Structure 1
Amino acid sequence: MKKLLALTTIAAAMATTAVTSHAQDYPGGKPITIVVPFAAGGPTDRVARDLAEALRKSLDGVSIVVDNTAGAGSTIGNAKVARAKPDGYTLLLTHVGMATTPVLYRKLSYNYETDFEYLGLINDVPMTVIGKPNIEARNMKELRDWISKNPGKVNLGNAGIGSASHLCGLLLQSELKADMTTVPYKGTAPAIADLLGGQIDLLCDQTTNTTSQIEAKKVKPFAVTTLKRLNTPALKDIPTLDESGLKNFQVTIWHGLYAPKGTPAPVLKKLNDALKVALKDPEFIAKEEGLGAVVVQDKRVEPAEHKKFVMSEVARFGPVIKAAGAYAD
């Protein structure tokens, strides 16, 4: 019995030594893969590629590969990372969908709360409420009046169930207590195309997708979804929904970084430390600001605060999604 106990103790010590050695060597020149659960070229993909470059600098120049594993509203890519070896070489970068898929999908092959290590929040992307070029309303007050006088006749587009624009639209309808017809598309591009053509009336989408259209005066901007006006030249004169009468209305599409559950604590610390350095990289900040995004510099860069924030977002979006019956399965 004593011999068995001694062997068990030695095995445990060897395992601990191996983990410690791995953590000290990490990443050790081995490539890191960041899984993005969306197609290449979209807003989340752009954030991932910019962050990969900033992280590379803070991780001794290690190669960081972005793997676009799209499909099923981000759940395929999320599941891929949840099942990955927890060694720090496979990470997940995703957006607010981490907090909404648990409500949108009744059955998931992973648990958002227990299958991931939360590493830190990356950015906040504001949203804009925009209208077709020839829409009758000139400001948010007139828009609200117009919607109320046309119950069920106003078409509100979105980029698909579970998309950022879908979530923003649900919250907007809930706050306005408005009866609008929701029109889902397979992506933001076709939704904006139909908005420009007048097939739909309104769209609420990320600044990363709408700023260029607003700059070119191809759409009618009504409001931004932050509590303060934005500093971006093309958006600085657009009022907030809060000042337009929807008090405390605020919604941003944030991005966060995750690792598989069970990744060694020393590796997680190295990754979180590298993330904090990356988020202060002037080049990364400039790129994000160019997309209309705000790089996170508050306590949400800490793993515990990141997870706490996501849980609060689940509680926030859940009732709205359930009330609308907006399920993806």
Structure 2
Amino acid sequence: MTRAALIACLAAGLASAALAGPAAADYPQRAITLVVPYAAGGTNDTLSRIIGEHLAKTLGRPVLIENEAGAAGTLAARRVARAAPDGHTLIMGNMGTHAVAVSQYRSLGYQPLADFTPIGLTASVPAVVVARRDFPGTTLADLRSALRAKPEGLSEAHIGVGSPTHTFCTLLHGMMGTRAVRVAYRGGSQAMSDLVGGHADFSCISLSGAISQINAGSLKALAVATSERVGIIPSVPTAAESGLPGFEVSTWNGLFAPRGLPPAIRDRLSAAMDAALADPGVQARLLELGFVLPTPAERGGEVLGGLVAREIPRWAKVLQEGGIAQE
């Protein structure tokens, strides 16, 4: 090794040690930005605000929620992937940004497995098939019949190609042999507004994003995509009970930092997230909204990384079979 190369290696080592040492000990040094890859008001946004509020208490610095919608969440993910790996910029990623997007976009601009440091799984939420309140039917079989009779006459609301709402309905159509007019919205609140207003006919949405409207009678819940009925809406049948066994899907959400995050900072963030999920108040709020909380053994960064690795090929198959072309 030349003298110049040796000096360069020593400098790199010192820089790395400095980052992992004092920087980690002093973390956080300023407010933390938690990027939400969708517009305000949706499931991911609600979860981020509840978790972020507790993280701020534990870490002693404000956690600023920043919504950056666009391209089904991938614009925000690309931004965070390129941010400094110092723990001050995080993203509440999900199955859309960190699994489905790999098969959806030719030029994604980031690699979910290579460009992020997974902190841990925060929560998942089952999908529910909902329809406008005056939809002429009450079951999944009714929806299937209506779609088959007039596929161009029903509109499906989703929040972007490759988003969980879009992917869930792609799987649903594939299993039912149906199609619809698929309408994209910038965020969950906008899609929900049109569903409640009767301007869209149905959607495959996260339960937490629809539970208040279901309970208020503003939406009809046709089926939940779970193996058993859900306690907060016990009268709503499962997809299997509705004649569609195998339609069991949920969107997971996880906290990610850019690649290269020092292990000490990663561990502190992971511990802070564990503290948030163990807090009775946080648990009560999330469970009431329909979220499913991971057990302590399911929360770690390694577990989240393994989940991402499994989900990428799973949803690639769904999109391929659904004929969803790459953008």
TM-score, reference length from structure 2: 0.88
Q: How does 1:1-329 map to 2 (within 5 A)?
A: 11=11, 14-15=14-15, 17-22=17-22, 24-59=24-59, 61-97=60-96, 98-232=98-232, 235-297=233-295, 299-327=297-325, 329=327
Letter in 1 for 2:320: K
In structure 2, relative to structure 1, the CA distance for the partners of 1:103 and 1:125 (3 Å cut) is same
Q: Aligned-pair distance for 1:17?
A: 4.4
Which ranges in structure 2 are unaligned for 5 or more consecutive residues?
Answer: none
CA offsets per residue over residues 251-283 of structure 1, 9 Å max, x none? Answer: 112211111111111221221122112211112
Which ranges in structure 1 are unaligned for 5 or more consecutive residues?
Answer: none
How many Å separate the matches in 2 of 1:219 and 1:298? 34
Letter in 1 for 2:84: K
Q: Please give the secondary structure, in 2, of the residue aligned with 1:295.
A: coil
CA offsets per residue over residues 164-210 of structure 1, 9 Å max, x none? Answer: 22111111111112243333344444444444454543221122332
8 Å contact from structure 1 (residues 29, 63) kept in 2 = no
CA offsets per residue over residues 71-112 of structure 1, 9 Å max, x none? Answer: 222222111111111122221112222211111111122111
8 Å contact from structure 2 (residues 42, 188) kept in 1 = no
How many Å separate the matches in 2 of 1:296 and 1:121? 7
Q: Aligned-pair distance for 1:134?
A: 3.1
Name whichever of 201-210 and 187-196 sits farther off.
187-196
Greater C-alpha Rg: 1
Name whichever of 41-50 and 262-271 sits farther off.
41-50
8 Å contact from structure 1 (residues 23, 266) kept in 2 = no
How many Å separate the matches in 2 of 1:228 and 1:203? 20
8 Å contact from structure 1 (residues 82, 261) kept in 2 = yes
In structure 2, relative to structure 1, the CA distance for the partners of 1:64 and 1:179 (3 Å cut) is closer
8 Å contact from structure 1 (residues 279, 297) kept in 2 = no
How many Å separate the matches in 2 of 1:240 and 1:325? 26
In structure 2, relative to structure 1, the CA distance for the partners of 1:260 and 1:212 (3 Å cut) is same
Instruction: Count residues in correspondence.
Output: 326
How many Å separate the matches in 1 of 2:12 and 2:162? 45
8 Å contact from structure 1 (residues 93, 256) kept in 2 = yes
Letter in 2 for 1:266: A
Q: Please give the secondary structure, in 2, of the residue aligned with 1:279.
A: helix
Coordinate RMSD, CA, aligned:
2.7
Name whichever of 241-250 and 217-226 sits farther off.
241-250
8 Å contact from structure 1 (residues 119, 256) kept in 2 = yes
How many Å separate the matches in 1 of 2:9 and 2:172? 59
CA offsets per residue over residues 201-226 of structure 1, 9 Å max, x none? Answer: 32211223322221122222211112
How many Å separate the matches in 2 of 1:203 and 1:296? 26
8 Å contact from structure 2 (residues 69, 187) kept in 1 = no
How many Å separate the matches in 1 of 2:168 and 2:256? 24
In structure 2, relative to structure 1, the CA distance for the partners of 1:94 and 1:13 (3 Å cut) is closer
CA offsets per residue over residues 116-157 of structure 1, 9 Å max, x none? Answer: 111111001222111233333333344434444445544333
How many Å separate the matches in 2 of 1:160 and 1:3? 54
How many Å separate the matches in 2 of 1:18 and 1:186? 42
8 Å contact from structure 1 (residues 96, 254) kept in 2 = yes
How many Å separate the matches in 2 of 1:6 and 1:253? 48
How many Å separate the matches in 2 of 1:81 and 1:106? 19
How many Å separate the matches in 2 of 1:266 and 1:257? 16
